[in-house]
Amino acid sequence: MIATAAQLEAARLTQHFLDAGAAPVSADILQPAGTLLDLYGEDIRARAYTTHDPLRGEQMLRPDFTVPVVQMHMTHGADPARYTYQGRVFRQQTDPARATEYLQVGYELFARDDPAAADAEVFALINDALSHLNLTPVTGDIGILMAAVLGLATTDRRKNALLRHIWRPARFRQLLNRFSGRTPAPETRVALLEQSDPMAHDFPHIGLRSAAEVSARIDALREDSATPPITGDEVQLIDAILSIRDTAPMALANLKALTSDIPTMAPAVTRLAGRIDALAVRGINVDTLQFETDFGRTLLEYYDGFVFGFRADPAAAPIATGGRYDALTRQLGQGAAIPAVGGVIRPGLIVDLEGAS
Amino acid sequence: MIKLGIPSKGRLMADTIAWFADQGITLRRSGSDREYAGEVTGIDGVELVLLSAGEIPRELAAGRIHLGVTGSDLIHEKLPLNATQITEIAPLDFGHADLIIAVPNAWVDVATLDDLDAACAAFRATHGFRLRIATKFHRLVRDYLQANGVADYQLVDSQGATEGTVLNETAEAVADITSTGVTLTANHLKMLSEEPIHKSQATLFASQTAAMTEAEKSTFDALVDMLGG
């Protein structure tokens, strides 16, 4: 069989990662659906191909390598560890012009020390592999917005509700509008809370959600309705943070200025500063590197820190993406956790781009 | 021949035949009423195909029938690219039903999607798994919940007696078609106060993929003209 251009490009990228000290790993194409569903929720069913096996139950054609590689590392690996993999991933597409099956080459780094250096290592390796292509990298940091939310002068319940929807920008905004009083509480809720005892009714309690759970939610709603709104000033601060789209040093300066109003953001901003320094050490021209606070919020729910993407054209699928996913290792590690950062490149898109130019 | 697919049984078939009669086209089963073949009078060159309503979307998309009557809910559930595969010719104003989400009446704290989302979050934290919503309309329900930012739920498949799943503790909520709401009430369930996910009715659709000769095209145009498309 003659290797396709994409396969040759994948081999080049794999060699690039092997040269950086990565151990080659692979993953089964058929992955148990349960783990993926638990991590990503129903949304994954719209993106992955599901198949049924009478013995093994529901299986998915691997939609990415990150989850099986993390699982493998958490079971067998010793850190620090660097892995590379290549193979096909399978994604359903609503746009028939987009590929449903394509090659990915990835690099994942598990390391407890010096997260800034780890972030910079992954970014710089991918940047080097793509340096001949004249792509525009964009970086972001989900941790900045998370830290800002934690600094709001409001209840933990509201902060947790906002944090839960960090990756759904429209819903995040809806909640922020509600908590700041910009949109009124729904009529049904007002009516519920006007009742002296909403639990006094004759409806049978059917299903697993118990009366105690309903009652606890009503208590939470009462607490929330008695909570003062998040102030307009604070909403403006969140807006100011989210609207930052600038070169990394300018973005950093803006965020530093905002930490006087939201002190909880300081550690995240310090981490960003450390990462920018580490990127410069790796030879990245940080003075022109784009940083957007909002970047990566709609990628995948598991990124919770540094995020990046490389595109040739803002409208097209990114050629490479990656980020830090410490929380994912905590969820898959059943108590154990290890800081991790990684990224993937699509060799097929590189070949298309080289063919077009 | 232009192939016209209609539902093969029940109220939907009877209403479809009556609607076509109003437009001057008689659809009749040939032979016994157990036979799934039929004849068309009022226009020449049209063949009647009796099919399960659930299969009509697939047959239209594949171009094996030129025209078909089925519920708009089934079209949207089964054909994600329906705008490129089929064309809507006419809503038929019967077979009305809404695809809705329903939860136990005893959930007095849940009326909106916002409430449902909050209940899902708390349920997952308490029970260790995602709140289950039983449905057979997976695509429509998932797209709707995703668009509205609901998280921490899972869909479980239910092809029938869906309203019973909560009582049987195989789901915590349901998403199903309802026209009167009587079955929901009988099963101690209430609809959310939101607009329905989809307002369905029997609709005449045309395939965009079915091949036609010149003669068939003129029959097709004449038929669509009679049917008010």
**In this structure, what CATH number is given to the domain that contains residue B119?**
3.40.190.10
Q: How close A198 comes to chain B (CA, Å)? A: 7
pLDDT band at A109 (very low <50, low <70, confident <90, very high): very high
Indicate if ipTM > 0.85: yes
In this structure, the answer to whether residues B165 and B210 fall within a common structural domain is no
Q: Contact B139/A46, CB-based, under 8 Å?
A: yes
Q: Contact B108/A201, CB-based, under 8 Å?
A: yes
In this structure, the answer to whether residues A225 and A170 fall within a common structural domain is yes
User: How much is the pLDDT for A46?
Assistant: 87
B157 interfaces chain A, CB cutoff of 8 Å: no
In this structure, the answer to whether residues A62 and A133 fall within a common structural domain is yes
The structure tokens listed for A35 are 């783990």
H-type helices in A114-247, by residue range?
115-129, 142-150, 156-164, 169-179, 187-194, 211-225, 232-242
Question: What are residue B99's DSSP bridge partners?
Answer: B177, B198
In this structure, the answer to whether residues B126 and B206 fall within a common structural domain is no
User: Taking a contact as any Cβ pair under 8 Å apart, which residues of chain A between 262 and 301 contact chain B?
Assistant: none
In this structure, the answer to whether residues A10 and A113 fall within a common structural domain is yes
Q: What is d(CA A336, CA A332) in angstroms, rounded to the nearest whole number? A: 8
Q: Contact B104/A203, CB-based, under 8 Å?
A: yes
Query: What tens digit of pLDDT does each residue of A55-78 get?
Result: 988 999 999 999 999 999 988 878
pLDDT band at A225 (very low <50, low <70, confident <90, very high): very high
Task: Please state, as a whole number, how many other Cβ atoms lie within 10 Å of the Cβ of residue A229.
Answer: 13
Of B111, B102, B65, B100, whose CA–CA distance to B86 is shortest? B65
In this structure, the answer to whether residues A307 and A166 fall within a common structural domain is no
In this structure, the answer to whether residues A101 and A135 fall within a common structural domain is yes
The structure tokens listed for B103 are 């939860």
Q: What is d(CA A324, CA A118) in angstroms, rounded to the nearest whole number? A: 9
In this structure, the answer to whether residues A66 and A122 fall within a common structural domain is yes
Task: Please state, as a whole number, how many other Cβ atoms lie within 10 Å of the Cβ of residue B139.
Answer: 16
Nearest chain A residue to B155 by CA distance is A42
Q: How far is CA B68 from the centre of its chain?
A: 13
Query: What tens digit of pLDDT does each residue of B152-169 get?
Result: 999 999 998 999 999 999
Q: Last residue of some domain: A230, A252, A284?
A: A230
Query: Which residue among B106, B169, B171 places its CB closest to the CB of A214?
Result: B106
A200 interfaces chain B, CB cutoff of 8 Å: no
In this structure, the answer to whether residues A251 and A314 fall within a common structural domain is yes
User: How much is the pLDDT for B22?
Assistant: 94
Q: Contact A206/B149, CB-based, under 8 Å?
A: no
In this structure, the answer to whether residues A168 and A107 fall within a common structural domain is no
* Residue A167, domain extent: 155-230
* Residue B81, domain extent: 2-96+201-226
Contacts of A213 in chain B (CB under 8 A): 119, 122-123, 126
Positive or negative CA dihedral for A115, A130, A101, A15?
Answer: negative
In this structure, the answer to whether residues A219 and A275 fall within a common structural domain is no
Contacts of B154 in chain A (CB under 8 A): 37, 41-42
In this structure, the answer to whether residues B211 and B195 fall within a common structural domain is no
In this structure, the answer to whether residues A245 and A169 fall within a common structural domain is no
Q: How close B195 comes to chain A (CA, Å)? A: 14
Model pTM score: 0.90
Which residue type occupies A20?
A
The structure tokens listed for A148 are 């800002």
Q: Last residue of some domain: A180, A202, A230?
A: A230
Q: Is the pLDDT of residue A299 over 60?
A: no
User: How much is the pLDDT for B34?
Assistant: 65
State the Rg of chain A over Cα: 23
In this structure, the answer to whether residues A166 and A107 fall within a common structural domain is no
Domain count, chain B: 2
Tell me the backbone φ, ψ of residue A271, rounded to 5 degrees: -60, -40
In this structure, the answer to whether residues B115 and B179 fall within a common structural domain is yes
Q: Are B112 and A175 in contact (CB under 8 A)?
A: no
Query: What tens digit of pLDDT does each residue of A316-350 get?
Result: 889 999 999 998 888 888 778 899 999 999 999 99
Query: Which residue among B109, B127, B169 places its CB closest to the CB of A221?
Result: B109
In this structure, the answer to whether residues A82 and A127 fall within a common structural domain is yes
Q: Are B168 and B180 in contact (CB under 8 A)?
A: no
Q: Contact A186/B142, CB-based, under 8 Å?
A: no
